[in-house]
């Protein structure tokens, strides 16, 4: 069951049971944040990746400048951490409820663009796909 939660505390995670982790973290506008997640611990992991991406950008502004850079960063980290799982990383404007709840997932929003990361746990092969409705989104500079 998917439940949403909001909080004004910038680092507060809200956990519902062992399989649903829902969070709404607004760290520093317009910084990227996970607005919804599903699956035991997956949203927390993606939030940690986002924090590292943000710190990397602050230290090295030429890195992770565009949406494409951010997606490539996620792809590399997911492949390294979950070497035998399948992931889809999808950028777009909106996603339906079934896409979010089908498998462990995290929905991120950054500069008005949403990124959905879906994990197919238990796959014996590794495959990361990235799609978008608008290819120009990938080259747009992110306003960290």
pLDDT top residue among 7 and 75 = 75
In a domain, 88, yes or no: yes
Helix or strand or coil: residue 117?
A: strand
In a domain, 1, yes or no: no
Q: For residue 95, what pLDDT band results from cuts at 50, 70 and 90? A: low
Do residues 140 and 80 touch, judged by C-beta distance below 8 A?
Answer: no
In a domain, 2, yes or no: no
Q: How many domains does the chain have?
A: 1
In a domain, 7, yes or no: no
Q: Give the model's pLDDT for residue 83.
A: 67
State pLDDT tens for residues 31-72: 566 666 666 677 778 888 888 888 888 888 788 777 778 888
In a domain, 4, yes or no: no
Give CA–CA dist 143/119, Å, rounded: 27
In a domain, 62, yes or no: yes
Q: Give the model's pLDDT for residue 17.
A: 33
Q: Give the model's pLDDT for residue 10.
A: 36
Report pTM.
0.56
HSE at residue 93, side-chain half, CA atoms within 13 A, is 3
CATH number for 128: 3.30.740.10
The pair of structure tokens assigned to 83 is: 């070497």
Q: Give the model's pLDDT for residue 144.
A: 44
**Position 12 pLDDT exceeds 80:** no
Give CA–CA dist 48/4, Å, rounded: 20
In a domain, 36, yes or no: yes
**Look-up: residue for tokens 């792809």?**
75
Give CA–CA dist 61/7, Å, rounded: 29
Number of other CB atoms surrounding residue 114 within 10 Å: 16
In a domain, 3, yes or no: no
């Amino acid at each position: 069951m998917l439940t949403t939660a909001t909080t004004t505390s910038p680092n507060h995670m809200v956990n519902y049971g062992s399989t649903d982790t829902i969070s709404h973290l607004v760290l520093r506008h317009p910084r990227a944040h996970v607005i919804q997640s599903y699956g035991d611990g997956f949203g927390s992991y993606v939030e940690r990746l986002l924090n590292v991406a943000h710190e990397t950008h602050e230290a090295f502004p030429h890195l992770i400048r565009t949406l494409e850079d951010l997606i490539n960063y996620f792809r590399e980290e997911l492949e390294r951490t979950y070497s035998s799982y399948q992931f889809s990383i999808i950028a777009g404007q909106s996603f339906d409820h079934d896409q979010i709840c089908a498998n462990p997932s995290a929905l991120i929003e950054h500069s008005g663009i949403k990124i959905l990361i879906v994990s197919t746990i238990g796959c014996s092969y590794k495959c990361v796909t990235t799609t978008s409705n608008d290819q120009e989104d990938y080259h747009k500079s992110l306003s960290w």
